[in-house]
Chain A
Amino acid sequence: MGVNLNCVLLIDDDNITNFLHKQLLSRTGIVHNIIAVETVKEGLDVLTKNQGCENPELIFLDLNMPGLTGWDFIDEYKIIKLRCGIKSRIILLSSSANPADKKKAGDIEEVTAFLHKPLTDSMINEIMNKYFSS
């Protein structure tokens, strides 16, 4: 499999999860640029401040984070989307199976999918086939 995606953004407050997800994505060799951040604020900075990845095709977003949560990120993202015309797919990665969260995610247009941590090879394959096959 060659390089399919230019940039993927990982937002998770747990550095170990970020490390593992980054490893996993690098191994598949489908992503050119992987950026991992530990806070929502840093994630928003990636989208708005020129860091070489203003328009990631895919954002893996953790929900439960200290301070600003994944939900807050989505709210800010909606504004940035209108202003800058970026278009990313957001995949929520939750460590809990709270049905209320899943339902809430289903009602948000910007959210592509709601998955459980951690990412696996088969999950990546499925995501690529479902959303990024030409």
Chain B
Amino acid sequence: MQLWNKYKQLVHSNILSGLDHEVMGLSYWKDRLFVRIMIYLFPVSLIALLPSVIMSIISGVPFLAVIDILTSLVILIIAVHPSLSLPLRKSLLIICLYFLSIALLLYLGSRGPGLLYLLTLTILITLIFSVSVALLSIAINIVIIILAALLIHFKLFHTPLTHIYSLGSWIAVSSNLVFLSAVAVASLRLLFNGLEATIFQADKLQKQLLEESNALQRAFRSMETKTQELEQFAYIASHDLQEPLRTITSVVDLLEKEYKDRLDNGANIYLNFLSQSSGRMRALITALLDYSIIGKEKKMEFVSCNELLQQVIADLPAPFNNKTHIIVNNLPLLPAYRVELKLLFQNLISNAIKFRTQNNQFEVIVSAEENSDHWKFSVIDNGIGIEARYHKKIFGIFQRMHPKSKYEGLGIGLSHCRKIADLHGGEIGVKSEPGMGSTFYFTIAKTKTLDGS
């Protein structure tokens, strides 16, 4: 068995060495087929060899026995010779088999497998060569038949062929070979062309797919870079803007402290505006800076959301910092970014407090629901609610729904929440109607490992 495997390996590497098919097209499979034929041909030929040799000697045609042995040897050489080129191996095999067929034809006539060999050869050629070579093989078969016909007609020398056949009977028998060869080549050609078209189509599609996936990957990388650049820009811009702003606020403060009594009413109003505006600008810039920093130092760890919520509630101002107002249903322990997740809950609950109604007893319910690939958290309040047309807008940066005089704020909290949900591979949204309270929900994608992959 080991010997057989070694032999198989040897033939395989001998014949296919140096061949590199880019597409596994028809020619590739034809070469593979040739290798397979060469592996089995010699051992199998040995099976035919022994009876043939014995019969040849008994029938008094030792020459045929020599040809049989020679053929087997040539086949062995084609299979194991280390440095023949592939086309040469193929051609040698075909020539050798043609010699065998002709010899069989001449010495055994219709009793022998000569015509059968010729048909088999044409099929073999169609299998391992191109169609034009197969057509050539039909032509060679015809030539052999004609030569045999001439031999029979003119009785040029004595062979069993001339004894058995008259010209008419030879033509009748041999025309079957021509017909069968033609049918075999034509059907195989149709099959091969179809297969080849399919293979190349598949290859083309595969290449297209690869190209598209590459393009997609490039686009993704460029988007990633752009996002990073943008975050960097926001960080630098807000950081550098703070510098002159600090000077302005300091000067305004000094002006207010030292000159308030010496300025008239109008000047004091302007000074007040200055102080208001610069204060607001500082708050906006700080918010922008916070926004750009979110997730920069993120660390994935197992977070007990129950504990997290207890901390959030404890940090709330009285009278909201207790469980009569904020009901926390059983929450999961999951891998998440603790600091960011806490900020998310803080923002949602502070909003619920800020936009509570005077009529209802303030109440917030926090709960979570497990899905196949994510956790869905809900924060339900009984506050003033939000019109449907603002449901998307509220998550934008610096988007506010109410005038400053009614509700203080920068319009940054929910955009922080959206960014944090995003960090967790999740989404955020709201279901609400004016006067009916709001349900903010967000999802956290389930991760198997702590590095978030």
Q: A residues bordering B, Cβ < 8 Å?
A: 13, 15-16, 19-20, 38-39, 65-67
State whether A13 and B277 are in contact (beta carbons under 8 Å apart), knowing that A66-B411, A67-B390 are contacts in the complex.
no
Are B401 and A13 within 8 A (Cβ)? no
Interface of A is mostly: loop
B 389-418 to A, binary, CB cutoff 8 A, 1 in contact else 0: 010000000011111110000010000000
Are A16 and B403 within 8 A (Cβ)? no
Q: How far is the CB of A50 from chain B (nearest CB, A)?
A: 23
Residue from the list A19, A20, A38 in contact with B403, Cβ < 8 A: A38
Are A66 and B405 within 8 A (Cβ)? no
- Judged by a CB distance under 8 angstroms, whether B273 is at the interface is yes
Are B273 and A67 within 8 A (Cβ)? no
Complex formed: what's the CA distance from A67 to B386 in Å?
10
Q: How far is the CB of A61 from chain B (nearest CB, A)?
A: 15
Q: How far is the CB of B112 from chain A (nearest CB, A)?
A: 90
Complex formed: what's the CA distance from A123 to B273 in Å?
23
Are A19 and B404 within 8 A (Cβ)? no
- Judged by a CB distance under 8 angstroms, whether B276 is at the interface is yes
Are B402 and A67 within 8 A (Cβ)? yes
List the 8 closest A-B pairs by CB distance, nearest first.
Answer: A66-B400, A67-B401, A16-B273, A38-B403, A39-B403, A66-B401, A66-B402, A13-B403
Are B276 and A13 within 8 A (Cβ)? no
Of A15, A19, A67, chain B has the most CB atoms within 10 Å of the CB of A67
Complex formed: what's the CA distance from A67 to B276 in Å?
22
Q: How far is the CB of A40 from chain B (nearest CB, A)?
A: 10
Complex formed: what's the CA distance from A13 to B405 in Å?
9
Of B273, B276, B277, B403, chain A has the most CB atoms within 10 Å of the CB of B403
State whether A38 and B405 are in contact (beta carbons under 8 Å apart), knowing that A16-B276, A16-B277 are contacts in the complex.
yes
Q: Which residues in B have their C-beta under 8 angstroms from that of A39?
A: 403
Complex formed: what's the CA distance from A13 to B390 in Å?
18
Q: Which residues in B have their C-beta under 8 angstroms from that of A16?
A: 273, 276-277
Complex formed: what's the CA distance from A15 to B402 in Å?
14
Name the residue of chain A whose CB is nearest to the CB of B400. A66
Q: How far is the CB of B35 from chain A (nearest CB, A)?
A: 66
Q: Which residues in B have their C-beta under 8 angstroms from that of A13?
A: 403-404
Q: Which residues in A have their C-beta under 8 angstroms from that of B404?
A: 13, 15, 66
Complex formed: what's the CA distance from A39 to B403 in Å?
7
Q: Which residues in A have their C-beta under 8 angstroms from that of B401?
A: 66-67
Are B405 and A15 within 8 A (Cβ)? yes
Q: Which residues in B have their C-beta under 8 angstroms from that of A66?
A: 399-404, 411
Q: How far is the CB of B432 from chain A (nearest CB, A)?
A: 14
Q: How far is the CB of B280 from chain A (nearest CB, A)?
A: 9
Q: Which residues in A have their C-beta under 8 angstroms from that of B277?
A: 16
Complex formed: what's the CA distance from A48 to B269 in Å?
32
- Give me 16 A-to-B residue pairs in the complex whose CB atoms sit less than 8 angstroms apart, sorted by A's number: A13-B403, A13-B404, A16-B273, A16-B276, A16-B277, A19-B269, A19-B273, A38-B403, A38-B405, A65-B403, A66-B399, A66-B400, A66-B401, A67-B400, A67-B401, A67-B402
Complex formed: what's the CA distance from A39 to B269 in Å?
22
Q: How far is the CB of B278 from chain A (nearest CB, A)?
A: 11
Complex formed: what's the CA distance from A38 to B403 in Å?
7
Complex formed: what's the CA distance from A16 to B390 in Å?
26
Complex formed: what's the CA distance from A66 to B411 in Å?
9
Q: Which residues in A have their C-beta under 8 angstroms from that of B411?
A: 66
Complex formed: what's the CA distance from A19 to B399 in Å?
23
Q: Which of B266-282 contact A (CB under 8 A)?
A: 269, 273, 276-277
Q: Which residues in B have their C-beta under 8 angstroms from that of A19?
A: 269, 273
Complex formed: what's the CA distance from A67 to B273 in Å?
24
Name the residue of chain A whose CB is nearest to the CB of B399. A66
Complex formed: what's the CA distance from A16 to B399 in Å?
19
Contacts A15-B405, A38-B405, A67-B390 aside, 4 further interface pairs with beta carbons under 8 A come to: A13-B403, A16-B277, A66-B402, A67-B400
Name the residue of chain B whose CB is nearest to the CB of A19. B273
B 277-291 to A, binary, CB cutoff 8 A, 1 in contact else 0: 100000000000000
Complex formed: what's the CA distance from A94 to B70 in Å?
98
Q: How far is the CB of A76 from chain B (nearest CB, A)?
A: 13
Q: Which residues in B have their C-beta under 8 angstroms from that of A65?
A: 403
Q: How far is the CB of A23 from chain B (nearest CB, A)?
A: 9
Complex formed: what's the CA distance from A65 to B393 in Å?
12
Name the residue of chain A whose CB is nearest to the CB of B398. A64
Q: Which residues in A have their C-beta under 8 angstroms from that of B276?
A: 16
B 27-57 to A, binary, CB cutoff 8 A, 1 in contact else 0: 0000000000000000000000000000000
Complex formed: what's the CA distance from A120 to B296 in Å?
43
Complex formed: what's the CA distance from A39 to B273 in Å?
20
Q: Which residues in B have their C-beta under 8 angstroms from that of A20?
A: 273
Complex formed: what's the CA distance from A65 to B404 in Å?
10
Name the residue of chain B whose CB is nearest to the CB of A41. B403
Q: How far is the CB of A43 from chain B (nearest CB, A)?
A: 12
Q: How far is the CB of B287 from chain A (nearest CB, A)?
A: 15
Q: Which residues in B have their C-beta under 8 angstroms from that of A15?
A: 404-405
Complex formed: what's the CA distance from A54 to B399 in Å?
30
Complex formed: what's the CA distance from A89 to B277 in Å?
30
Complex formed: what's the CA distance from A16 to B402 in Å?
17
Q: How far is the CB of B437 from chain A (nearest CB, A)?
A: 18
